[in-house]
Amino acid sequence: MKPILQQPAPFVEQVEQEEKKEIEFQTEEESTSPQIIAQLRAVTFATGNANKLREVQSILSEGGIALKSKSLDLPELQGTPDEIAIAKCKAAADIIKGPVLTEDVALEFTALNGLPGPYIKWFVKQIGLEGLNKMLAGFEDKSATAVCTFAFCRGPGYPCITFRGSTSGKIVPARGHTGFGWDAIFQPDGYDSTYAELDKTIKNRISHRYKALEQVRLYLQDENNFVQKTPIIPPQVDNIPDESILDNESKTISTSLTEPIDIK
């Protein structure tokens, strides 16, 4: 009777290691494949505003970014532009379950120390464009800064990346079409026309939205930004006995997620 031969343990370990490497290689290859990257670039823009959608599409289309839109019922938040943008983007990603882009706009009056800021939408709704002009009636300084903050998230559990653009100008009596927010009262520096009066091609090259979207376009075109496959899941408080560890990790994550890319 012939003895049963067994493979030496080192050989078995070597085979297991080779199989493990092959699996890891396939996972990495899958995560960076053109199909996966194309899916990640099929971004949903969270908006129900048709005018805003057309403007964003016209800018991102230059980079081959496929953009679709969906109107979402997102919470109205308070805080800094970056805090609002990140919280809104996380909420949108939880609903969409995939790559999502959100936008927040602020109009900062210098004389009012940055107000109305991110609440400009509600000021326009409550007091109108004439009311916004009256807010500066007692001030010689009519200067203002238009700020746009976009936030992008790959999906639930992933970090949100913010991109910010700003354009300086001044507040003037309404001129031009008044159907697109506060465009009719904002005159960018170096121009005699308001946003509403400018040709769309010109506006799309100087606006706060364009400056932020240029950074979004560059980010989405860079394949290196889509290599990471595993989402970042915040640690459960119950699993962290030392409160100082939670504080340190929270600060590190917060810093990496909220630091914007700023173009002026």
- pLDDT digit string (tens) for 10-37? 444 444 444 444 333 333 444 445 555 5
Contact 169, 186 (CB under 8 A): yes
Query: Do 112 and 165 meet the contact criterion of CB atoms below 8 Å apart?
Result: no
- What pLDDT digit, counting tens, does each position of 110-129 carry? 999 999 999 999 999 999 99
**pLDDT at 59 (0 to 100):** 79
- Count of CB atoms situated within 10 Å of the CB of 185: 27
The pLDDT value recorded for residue 8 is 46
Q: Does the pLDDT at position 236 exceed 70?
A: no
Q: Could you tell me the end-to-end alpha-carbon distance of the chain, in angstroms, rounded to an integer?
A: 85
User: Average pLDDT for residues 129-145, to the nearest whole number?
Assistant: 96
Please name the residues in contact with 193: beta carbons below 8 A apart, sequence gap of 6 or more. 175, 176, 187
Check residue 254 and give its pLDDT: 28
Q: Identify the DSSP state of 199.
A: -
Q: Backbone phi, then psi, for 152, in 5-degree steps?
A: -125, 140
Tokens found for residue 191: 């121009």
Share of the chain above pLDDT 90, in %: 45
What tokens appear for 128 in the block?
């109108």
**What are the structural domains, with CATH classification, of the chain?**
42-226+256-263 (3.90.950.10)
Tens digits of per-residue pLDDT, 48-104? 888 888 888 887 877 677 788 888 878 777 888 888 899 999 999 999 898 999 999
DSSP code for 230: S
Beta bridge partners of 166: 147
pLDDT at 222: 80
pTM flag (> 0.75) = no
Q: Categorize the per-residue pLDDT at 142 as very low, low, confident or very high, splitting at 50, 70 and 90.
A: very high
Decide which of 165 and 64 is more confident.
165
Rg of the chain over Cα atoms, rounded to whole angstroms, equals 24
Count of CB atoms situated within 10 Å of the CB of 57: 15
Token pair 């992008």 is found at 152
pLDDT of 178 reads 84
Burial 224-253 (b: 16+ CB within 10 A, else e): eebeeeeeeeeeeeeeeeeeeeeeeeeeee
Helix (H) or strand (E) holding 106: strand 100-109
Q: Which residue has the higher pLDDT, 100 or 259?
A: 100
